Amino acid sequence: MKSKPQIIAQGAEAILIKDGKILKKDRIKKSYRHPALDSLLRTWRTRHESRIMEKASKLIPIPSIKKTSEFEIDMDFVPGKRLSNYLDSLPEKKSLKICKQIGQQVSKIHQSNIIHGDLTTSNMILYKSQVYFIDFGLSFHSHRAEDKAVDLHLIKQAFESKHFKRAKSYFKNIIDGYKQANPEAQLVLKQLEKVESRGRYKGKH
């Protein structure tokens, strides 16, 4: 007997509904916006996210899209473990290997000028030794080293807040993975230093 669809998460922008082996991401109507504008924005964001996911799926593990409609993306449900809750419970050697894999995958999408926009371990699922990136709702295209550096800075901040005991070694392995076969890595990492120095300067005021 097929189980009933169930809401598994609800954010400011979308509801996630699990329906068997399918995950439906349904963009929420915003009552404060003019109905025509709201419809236009939701449609554009849904299609934009779907296009970026299609492109990223040729590069790294992400949920496969089954169907895209006006406000909804239907994709495969990835039944693994969310890294935000799981990474620290693994033996350190294994967790560092996973971080290296994450760095390699970030490098691959960056080389195709895809910026994830919300790189945290909450948006990564470990399934059969593969890290799947999820939630491309804030993603966009950019060739700028600045945007790629900010993407890396986001995951560094995520480690410092959620995985602070191993944050340094985790991020070192991210960077090691990022550098592999990436001709633009040094340019991005140099920009990352500038992004971080701006943050430190801001913190003094």
pLDDT digits (tens, 9 = 90+) for 133-181: 999 999 999 999 999 999 999 999 999 999 999 999 999 999 999 999 8
Q: Would you call 37 exposed, middle or buried from its count of C-beta atoms within 10 A (0-12, 13-18, 19+)?
A: exposed
Are the CB atoms for 157 and 121 separated by under 8 Å? no
> Helix (H) and strand (E) counts for the chain?
6, 10
The pLDDT of residue 32 is above 60: yes
What pLDDT is recorded for position 202?
Answer: 52
Q: What does the pLDDT read at residue 27?
A: 97
The token pair at 84 is 């935000």
> What does each C-alpha distance from 68 to 63, 73, 110, 134 come to in angstroms?
13, 5, 24, 16
What is the Cβ-side half-sphere exposure of residue 128, based on CA atoms within 13 angstroms? 4
Active site residues per annotation: 118
pTM assigned to the model: 0.92
Four-CA torsion 43, 49, 52, 58, nearest 10 degrees: -110
Say if residue 34's pLDDT is above 90: yes
Domain layout of the chain by residue ranges: 6-76, 81-203
Q: Residue range 38-61: average pLDDT?
A: 97
Grade residue 198 by pLDDT with cuts at 50, 70 and 90: confident
CA distance 16 to 64: 15
Q: Report how far residue 138's alpha carbon sits from residue 49's, in angstroms, rounded to the nearest whole number.
A: 8
Rounded to an integer, the average pLDDT of 20-39 is 95
Q: Is the pLDDT of residue 109 over 50?
A: yes
Q: What is the pLDDT of residues 112-145, one digit of tens each?
A: 999 999 999 999 999 999 999 999 999 999 999 9
Q: How confident is the model at residue 1 (pLDDT cuts 50, 70, 90)?
A: low
In the numeric block, the tokens 């496969």 are attached to 64
CA angle 107, 110, 112 (to 5 degrees): 115
Overall fold of domain 81-203: Transferase(Phosphotransferase); domain 1 (1.10.510)
Mean pLDDT (the chain) is 94
What's the CA angle centered on 52, arms 46 and 56, to 5 degrees? 140
Percent of the chain with pLDDT over 70: 96
Q: Is 82 exposed, middle or buried (0-12, 13-18, 19+ CB in 10 A)?
A: middle
Say if residue 205's pLDDT is above 50. Answer: no
pLDDT recorded at residue 203: 46
| pLDDT, position 204 | 45
Asked whether 118 and 135 are in contact (CB, 8 A), the reply is yes
**pLDDT above 60 (res 84):** yes
Task: Give me Rg for the CA atoms of the chain.
Answer: 18
pLDDT band at 11 (very low <50, low <70, confident <90, very high): confident
The CATH code for residues 6-76 is 3.30.200.20
Sign of the alpha-carbon torsion through 151, 103, 138, 110: positive
6-76 matches 81-203 in fold: no
**3-class DSSP assignment, residue 15:** strand
